[in-house]
Chains A and B, each alone.
Chain A
Amino acid sequence: MDPIPYRRETPGTQPPALWPDYRSTVLRSPRKPLIALPHSLSEVTGPIFGHDRLQPNDADLTSQHKERPIGDRMIVAGRVIDENERPVAGTLVEIWQANSAGRYFHPRDSRDAPLDSNFTGGGRTITDEEGRYRFITVKPGYYPWGNHPNAWRPAHIHFSVFGPSFVTRLICQMYFEDDPMLRYDPIYMSVPSDAGRKQLLAKFDYELTVPGFGLGYRFDIVLRGRNATPPEADHAH
């Protein structure tokens, strides 16, 4: 019995590989068509991560160092679900971001903005039974980049998620609704539909806000789901 395959990409939902407005894609996008791969065990299996491998501080980016980092403390939480709206439990969620001044703790970010020795900007956690995750961090700052004159990235947090198989692997970015930089950002604008771009926006959430501590933002992530019906013609219907 073949494994039930994962649903193919819904046309018009994912950014194209070549998006010249984002200049780095010009030399890094494959030009030959991708070859459709029927799903075998190699595709429907993937790495499993246990809670034992993580530490509590891994999900709290404000307590990984001696002192508290500078910036607006906030809670980022949400659910990882699949396209069939089922929770994705026990999956690894990893994030990375700039500090509140828009500077990355990275040897290749040499921009003239302060580093914060109390903030390295990486975190990770495992979703619970309902697919929920929760991070504590500070709001990332804007930063300029060399893509075009006067280019600034909107405030964002990078997300990496695994899901149940190697084909559900996803890297995306979380943005904040009402950020004025969004419409000028070729990375955000590479997503072809309004609905898709909206999926990348975190929403302020009063329920997640912790009194006297920090504002809460909700960001849900949808990973590929299984096909409802095996698509192969040789399965009887």
Chain B
Amino acid sequence: MRSMPFGGSYVPETPSQTAGPYVHIGLIPKQAGFDIFENNFGGDIAGPRVPGERITIKGRVFDGAGLATRDVLVETWQANAAGRYNHSADRQQGALDKSFRGWARTGTDFATGVYTIRTIKPGAVIGRKGRKRMAPHINFWIASRGINIGLATRMYFADEEAANAADPVLNIIEQPERRKTLIAPRSERDGNVTYTFDIYLQGERETVFFDA
């Protein structure tokens, strides 16, 4: 226990450790090749009745040698199409569809290195100080072999140019060049909308990671 500046005491958080190369056994068993749980938490989270624009997010996670990793756990957390989180701390008015949990989990593919998430595009979320809305975004958290502490980042939508320009979090990032690492381009094919969000762990294009 440590003493706090305000008095009182606390126990510090348990140290993080790498998820290792076999993370699939516990968290993505289908990718490990077995299916023992009745409910699997997966990367396809937009049920048929969930309101919102259907989108697919695809991307790869590159290491410092420029190679696409094939063993990274990818988790996302997002608001619904009305900009509300399915969580008690979100006291905003407005539609909350309890069937949309807002959380997805998948892994980069063993063969291609590509991860895929099928969801809906979130709405703008109320920001700090209750004033400015944050541009629509999806919170990412990744973990794997070689990552001692899970990495947090955010994906923004390239078609939300005005909202992105005013976003209070993107604007914390000093160099405009680095903001671009969080903005996913949109493409449409046969009526299917895909956003491509590649993550760079190191190098010139290193993705902005947050101390969240």
B16 & A123 in contact (Cβ 8 Å cutoff): no
Chain B residue at smallest Cβ distance from A40: B128
B49 at the interface (CB under 8 A from A): no
B38 & A22 in contact (Cβ 8 Å cutoff): no
Name the contact of B23 in the complex, choosing from A45, A158, A165, A170 (C-beta under 8 A).
Answer: A158
B85 at the interface (CB under 8 A from A): yes
Q: Which of B76-102 contact A (CB under 8 A)?
A: 77, 79, 85-87, 89-90, 101-102
B166 at the interface (CB under 8 A from A): no
A55 & B26 in contact (Cβ 8 Å cutoff): no
A54, B150: Cα distance in complex, Å = 25
Q: Which of B32-58 contact A (CB under 8 A)?
A: 32-34, 36-39
Given contacts A22-B18, A47-B77, A158-B26, whether A223 and B13 have CB atoms under 8 Å apart is yes
Name the contact of A45 in the complex, choosing from B12, B27, B87, B208 (C-beta under 8 A).
Answer: B87
A39, B127: Cα distance in complex, Å = 9
Kindly list chain A residues whose C-beta atoms are within 8 Å of the C-beta of B79.
Answer: 41-42
Name the contact of A42 in the complex, choosing from B6, B64, B137, B145 (C-beta under 8 A).
Answer: B137
A224 at the interface (CB under 8 A from B): yes
Name the contact of B63 in the complex, choosing from A3, A28, A196, A223 (C-beta under 8 A).
Answer: A28
Kindly list chain A residues whose C-beta atoms are within 8 Å of the C-beta of B210.
Answer: 34-37
B14 & A172 in contact (Cβ 8 Å cutoff): yes
A159, B204: Cα distance in complex, Å = 33
Measured between C-beta atoms, what is the minimum distance from B113 to chain A in Å? 14
A105, B2: Cα distance in complex, Å = 40
A225, B13: Cα distance in complex, Å = 8
The count of residues in chain A whose C-beta lies closer than 8 Å to any C-beta of chain B is: 90
A121 & B25 in contact (Cβ 8 Å cutoff): yes
A180, B71: Cα distance in complex, Å = 29
A100, B10: Cα distance in complex, Å = 36
A165 & B89 in contact (Cβ 8 Å cutoff): yes
A116 at the interface (CB under 8 A from B): no
B89 & A13 in contact (Cβ 8 Å cutoff): no
B188 at the interface (CB under 8 A from A): no
B77 & A197 in contact (Cβ 8 Å cutoff): no
Kindly list chain A residues whose C-beta atoms are within 8 Å of the C-beta of B154.
Answer: 42
Given contacts A53-B39, A106-B22, whether A30 and B125 have CB atoms under 8 Å apart is no
A122 & B89 in contact (Cβ 8 Å cutoff): no
B187 at the interface (CB under 8 A from A): no
Given contacts A46-B77, A58-B37, whether A26 and B125 have CB atoms under 8 Å apart is no
Q: Which of B144-202 contact A (CB under 8 A)?
A: 144-152, 154, 169, 172-173, 178, 201-202
A28 & B144 in contact (Cβ 8 Å cutoff): yes
A64, B33: Cα distance in complex, Å = 15
Chain A residue at smallest Cβ distance from B73: A171
Kindly list chain B residues whose C-beta atoms are within 8 Å of the C-beta of A16.
Answer: 148
Kindly list chain B residues whose C-beta atoms are within 8 Å of the C-beta of A24.
Answer: 18, 145-146
Kindly list chain A residues whose C-beta atoms are within 8 Å of the C-beta of B152.
Answer: 37, 166-167
B134 & A42 in contact (Cβ 8 Å cutoff): yes
B19 & A171 in contact (Cβ 8 Å cutoff): yes
A17, B125: Cα distance in complex, Å = 30
B90 & A228 in contact (Cβ 8 Å cutoff): no
A144 at the interface (CB under 8 A from B): no
A41 & B27 in contact (Cβ 8 Å cutoff): no
Kindly list chain B residues whose C-beta atoms are within 8 Å of the C-beta of A183.
Answer: none
